[in-house]
A and B are shown apart, each in its own frame.
Chain A
Amino acid sequence: MRTRIRRAKAAQTAAMVLTGLAAAFIVAAALYLLAIIVMRGLPGVSWEFLTQPPRGQMKEGGIFPVIVGTLALTGLTAAVSLPVGIAAGIYLSEYATRGRVTRIVRLAISNMAGVPSIVYGLFGLALFVNLMGFGKSILAGGLTLACLTLPVIITATEEALRQIPSDLRQASLALGATRWRTIYRVVLPAAAPGIVTGSILGLSRAVGETAPILFTAVAYYKRQLPTSLLSDVMALPYHIYIMATQVTGRPDEIVWGTALVLVAGVTLVSVAAAGWRSLQRRKVRW
């Protein structure tokens, strides 16, 4: 009996050590990734790097138009995906009844989240670039990225709305408010922190995507800034790709610097959003 227990305890220790090592390995890999991007990227980043266009066949100069291009794409993505995504989230949480249609909608949303980004690129090429005739442009790229971001925003909105107790909805309805007024004046304001944070997380993923904009938005090199929604643009992730694989003889720190700008932008915004949400949560408790 003793030995059985001792053996079980030994097995437990071994299991804890092994699984702990696995977790430590993954965490270490993540930290290594962070460290190498920061260490190698920092020497390349300067005020000039952020505010100057590339020069000398992109082997010198900065990435200003690249940053502007990514911001423009992200702006359009947000402008399209936020209203549609939030409305769809409201539908699922506030209007949809339990039934077959809702179940299919839910399956479709989670399936959409798993569609490869290159397939969104093909879809955008076929629909926005060719059929609608937008050409390679901010408009076509932004719409494509919006499709990709939608499931994240829908899910975030629905979850944030579900956190709001149904007591509040009932109270508003009992005061003679319509369904929509109840949502608009009571439920949405209460759920705003969750919706905003989830949406920012979704958008920050879109910022880093390359494959969807490959055929729908990006230019290899473009010195001047975009003038309309129908301009093509440079973009951070695509710039990293071409600099890493197609520009020979470029100094490494330009690519690392661009990678750092992209990763830092995405991470800092996400961290700020998450921090803001937990601050709001502390203020209001259900």
Chain B
Amino acid sequence: MALASEKKGAMVIGIHENSSNGGEFELRDVSVTYGSELAVAGVSMDIERCAVTALIGPSGCGKSTLLRCLNRMNDEVSNATVGGSIKLDGTDIYGKDMDPVELRTRVGQVFQKPNPFPMTIYDNVAYGPRTQGLRQRGALDDLVERSLKRAALWTEVKKDLKKHAFELSGGQQQRLCIARALATQPEVLLMDEPASSLDPISTQQIEDTIAELKSSVTIVIVTHNMQQAARISDWTAFMLRESMEEPAALVEVGETRSMFTNPGDKRTEAYITGRFG
């Protein structure tokens, strides 16, 4: 009982204190089960606030599955269950007091393929704040402008905010999705291979945006591209599913620089030197 109230208090303080410098995750023995199949098991790691953490590994190694645990999007897959504990700023996000819908306003997500809503640019960015009940025109205008600036899209679209989002190019659409996620003012931003469907120039722009953002938001990014992980991340976690019979697991996690120059595990070395995956 005492513990529960302590948790609650911690959460409230957490929101205020951390509001300008992201959130931090603490994963302990996290596992994911689809139906009866264990997909990911035994993941324990910390995710540092206001830093970029990259999840790398070959396809099918559970990176995206793990990512979706962090904002409970796995709840939307009806037969997925998550074990172990995941704490955001000290609060168990799978605890009884945590509403997944509210959690997602604190932990935003950008998807692999740009997925703007079929509405105007402005309405796309304003969608999240409006969901939270923000109606005043002035405040909404400010927030939209600020979010678009943070996503480095403002100068390109400021003249036609009323344009349909589908008229933007692929790279612009993805930055719009980033702006849309930022408009809910999340502490953490999850990115699931955000540049994998984009051309090199757009990819460069997204990477620049990420570098800008990390001063104010914690970023967790799943990427297929090891050069990208090396370029943009502070921390790197390497995941691997060694065979179809075994669940995916975390091989190692460490500072990106040392991981890429001096990997601690043979399998990590094999992967980053391109011997498989």
Residue from B104, B117, B118 within 8 A of A174 (CB atoms): B104
Chain B residues within an 8 Å CB radius of A103: none
A190 to B102, CA, bound (A): 25
Counting contact residues on chain B (CB < 8 A from A), the size range is 20 to 34
Asked if B181 lies at the interface with its beta carbon under 8 angstroms from chain A, I say: yes
- List A residues 170-192 near B (Cβ within 8 Å): 170-178, 181, 185-186, 189-190
User: Beyond A171-B111, A174-B181: 17 further Cβ-contacts under 8 Å?
Assistant: A167-B115, A172-B117, A172-B127, A173-B76, A173-B104, A174-B108, A175-B105, A175-B131, A175-B180, A176-B104, A176-B128, A176-B132, A177-B101, A177-B131, A181-B131, A186-B117, A285-B166
Residue from A171, A176, A285 within 8 A of B101 (CB atoms): A176
- List B residues 29-84 near A (Cβ within 8 Å): 71, 73, 76, 78
Q: Is the CB of B113 within 8 A of A175?
A: no
- List B residues 69-123 near A (Cβ within 8 Å): 71, 73, 76, 78, 101-105, 108-109, 111, 113, 115-119
Residues of A at under 8 Å CB distance from B?
97, 165, 167-168, 170-178, 181, 185-186, 189-190, 284-285
Count of inter-chain pairs, beta carbons less than 8 A: 66
Chain B residues within an 8 Å CB radius of A171: 109, 111, 115-117, 177, 180
Residue from A97, A175, A284 within 8 A of B184 (CB atoms): A175
Q: Is the CB of B78 within 8 A of A175?
A: no
Chain B residues within an 8 Å CB radius of A97: 78
Q: Is the CB of B118 within 8 A of A284?
A: yes
A sample of 15 inter-chain contacts (CB < 8 A) reads A171-B109, A171-B177, A173-B101, A174-B73, A174-B104, A174-B109, A175-B104, A175-B108, A176-B104, A176-B131, A176-B184, A177-B127, A177-B128, A178-B101, A284-B118
Residue from B71, B102, B105, B117 within 8 A of A168 (CB atoms): B117
Over the window 169-182 of chain B, the binary record of Cβ atoms lying under 8 Å from chain A Cβ atoms (1 yes, 0 no) is 00000000100110
Chain A residues within an 8 Å CB radius of B184: 175-176
A181 to chain B, nearest CB (A): 6
Chain A residues within an 8 Å CB radius of B181: 174-175
Chain B residues within an 8 Å CB radius of A285: 166
Q: For residue A285, which residue of chain B has the nearest CB?
A: B166
Of all A-B residue pairs in the complex, the 5 with the closest CB atoms, nearest first, are A176-B105, A167-B115, A174-B109, A175-B128, A176-B104
A171 to B118, CA, bound (A): 12
Q: Is the CB of B108 within 8 A of A170?
A: no
Q: For residue A171, which residue of chain B has the nearest CB?
A: B115
Q: Is the CB of B101 within 8 A of A170?
A: no
A34 to chain B, nearest CB (A): 37
Q: For residue A190, which residue of chain B has the nearest CB?
A: B118
Q: Is the CB of B131 within 8 A of A170?
A: no
